[in-house]
Amino acid sequence: MSTPNASSVAPPEGGRRGLFRRRPAAGTPAAAARDRRRSKQHRRLANVAGLMAALVLTGVGYSALAPGASAADDSTGNPSNAVEAGRELYTRSCITCHGDNLQGVEGRGPSLIGVGEAAVYFQVHTGRMPLVRQEAQAPERPPIFSEEEIEQLMAYIQENGGGPTLPSGDLRAGDLAEGGELFRLNCAQCHNFAGKGGALSSGKRAPSLEEANDMVIYSAMLSGPENMPVFGDNQLTPEEKRSIINYVQTLKAQHDPGGASIGRVGPVAEGLVIWVVGIGALLFGIFWMGTKA
Ligand code: HEC
Ligand code: HEC
């Protein structure tokens, strides 16, 4: 108890030594060592700064290039080629059920006139289309078409049938709190409050939103697949749709913050469990040591 205290107040000698350590006279070996340490620190700092700058530049570069890249992805370059390529894909994979003028085929598939590229994106991107066999509900599968082919199908069906188009820009640029409210009001009754999905009457189900990316959610709202209502821009403005997407994706990101979910009853209960279990273990340890003594 007394030793550390004594040394820290220790007058002249300790004091001088401390001073000496911090400021060695120039030219001494100690000063050289200090300079080396400093320059090492500087180099390390410079490395970190360099790394940060590189990261930021990569990010900026990527975000600047990404839209351009996806536009350039449309290898066909001009839109009419995309429509033409889309017609071929359609003829090969869709025409038997949706007809040669998108008018639909009795007993096989509905008309695609007016469904727009949004519905095509949704159906093909989630692997629901092309339907392989008639079922109560087209199942989700990995998409069998590439992004580029999906764009071509979209272009063809948009060109010939018209309908809702896909949005652009940041699909999460909406208010989180408003999104939560709108989600509970418009979506939770079928998809569950946590977006986990649920059974509907008639043997159908509303799927979990776990896998859905921003554009899938947007295009689902625009096209209203199966039993889901269409949320046109009169029902939910584009901004409200973005709020909902922001909410759904934020919710998903928060689903599993690590640790046991304990029924997702929330942080208070988790804290309580840690408290009870942790303190219990501690008490047990204390009593155990007590009996040993
Ligand atoms: C075996 C028949 C079949 C094939 C092949 C098929 N579809 Fe469908 N399609 C259907 C049926 C049935 C529905 C309606 C039931 C549903 O939505 O689950 C439908 C619905 C759709 C819808 C939604 C329409 C709406 O009102 O929102 C789109 C879009 C669509 N199909 C696009 C395609 C595209 C594109 C292809 C080709 C890549 C394709 N389908 C191939 C049978 C088929
Ligand atoms: C009346 C019930 C109902 C309501 C309300 C509803 N949905 Fe749906 N939703 C469905 C059904 C049913 C499907 C499956 C359609 C299918 O399989 O073709 C679906 C599919 C989806 C999908 C596709 C998920 C995937 O990964 O395939 C998304 C995303 C979605 N809904 C979002 C929403 C949002 C956002 C709202 C609120 C604005 C909403 N839904 C409101 C019934 C509903």
Q: 186-208 pLDDT, tens per residue?
A: 999 999 988 888 888 878 889 99
The reported pLDDT for the residue numbered 262 is 53
pLDDT over threshold 70, residue 264: no
Q: Cα–Cα distance between 221 and 174 in angstroms, integer? A: 15
Provide the pLDDT confidence category of residue 261 given band limits of 50, 70 and 90. Answer: low
CA distances from 252 to 52, 127, 185, 226 (A): 29, 21, 18, 24
206 and 200 in contact (C-beta within 8 Å)? yes
Whose tokens are 């979506």? That residue is 187
Residue 27's φ and ψ, nearest 5 degrees, are 95, -20
pLDDT tens string 219-257: 999 999 999 999 999 999 999 999 999 999 999 888 655
- As a dihedral over the C-alpha atoms of residue 185, residue 187, residue 190, residue 191, rounded to 10 degrees, the angle is -130
- As a dihedral over the C-alpha atoms of residue 257, residue 258, residue 260, residue 265, rounded to 10 degrees, the angle is -10
Q: Pick 292 or 15 by higher pLDDT.
A: 292
Contacts with 277 (C-beta within 8 Å, 6 or more apart), sequence order: none
Report the nearest-CA residue for atom 29 of ligand 1.
Answer: 120
The reported pLDDT for the residue numbered 6 is 43
State what percent of residues in the chain have pLDDT above 70: 71
Provide the pLDDT confidence category of residue 64 given band limits of 50, 70 and 90. Answer: low
Pocket test of ligand 2: the residue of 186, 190, 202, 216 to mutate, having most ligand atoms within 8 Å of its CB, is 190
Pocket test of ligand 1: the residue of 122, 131, 144 to mutate, having most ligand atoms within 8 Å of its CB, is 131
Pocket test of ligand 1: the residue of 91, 124, 129, 166 to mutate, having most ligand atoms within 8 Å of its CB, is 129
* Token pair recorded at residue 248: 């759904």
Provide the pLDDT confidence category of residue 75 given band limits of 50, 70 and 90. Answer: very low
Sign of the alpha-carbon torsion through 286, 288, 289, 293: positive
Q: Cα–Cα distance between 269 and 155 in angstroms, integer? A: 51
Pick the CATH number of 169-257 from 1.10.760.10, 3.40.50.10190, 3.90.1150.10, 3.40.1380.10: 1.10.760.10
State what percent of residues in the chain have pLDDT above 90: 48
What does 125-157 look like in DSSP terms, one character per residue? HTT--S-SS--SSPPP---SS-HHHHHHHHHHH
pLDDT over threshold 80, residue 60: no
Which class is domain 75-166? mainly alpha
The reported pLDDT for the residue numbered 74 is 43
pTM over 0.75: no
- Residue extents of the structural domains in the chain: 75-166, 169-257
pLDDT over threshold 50, residue 9: no
The reported pLDDT for the residue numbered 71 is 42
- Domain 75-166 matches domain 169-257 at the CATH topology level: yes
pLDDT over threshold 80, residue 285: yes
- State whether the beta carbon of 124 lies less than 6 angstroms from ligand 1: yes
- State whether the beta carbon of 153 lies less than 6 angstroms from ligand 1: yes
207 and 140 in contact (C-beta within 8 Å)? yes
Cis peptide bond N-terminal to 130, omega within 30? yes
The reported pLDDT for the residue numbered 5 is 46
The reported pLDDT for the residue numbered 290 is 85
Q: What is the DSSP letter of 28?
A: S
* Token pair recorded at residue 125: 């991107």
Q: 216 in helix, strand or coil? A: helix
- As a dihedral over the C-alpha atoms of residue 183, residue 189, residue 192, residue 193, rounded to 10 degrees, the angle is 40
Q: Cα–Cα distance between 51 and 97 in angstroms, integer? A: 55
From the CA of 211, how far away is ligand 1's center (Å)? 20
pLDDT over threshold 70, residue 162: yes
Amino acid identity of residue 268, one-letter, is V
Ligand 2 is surrounded, with C-beta below 6 A, by 126, 128, 137-138, 140, 186-187, 189-191, 200, 204, 206-207, 209, 211-212, 216-217, 220-221, 225-229, 231, 244
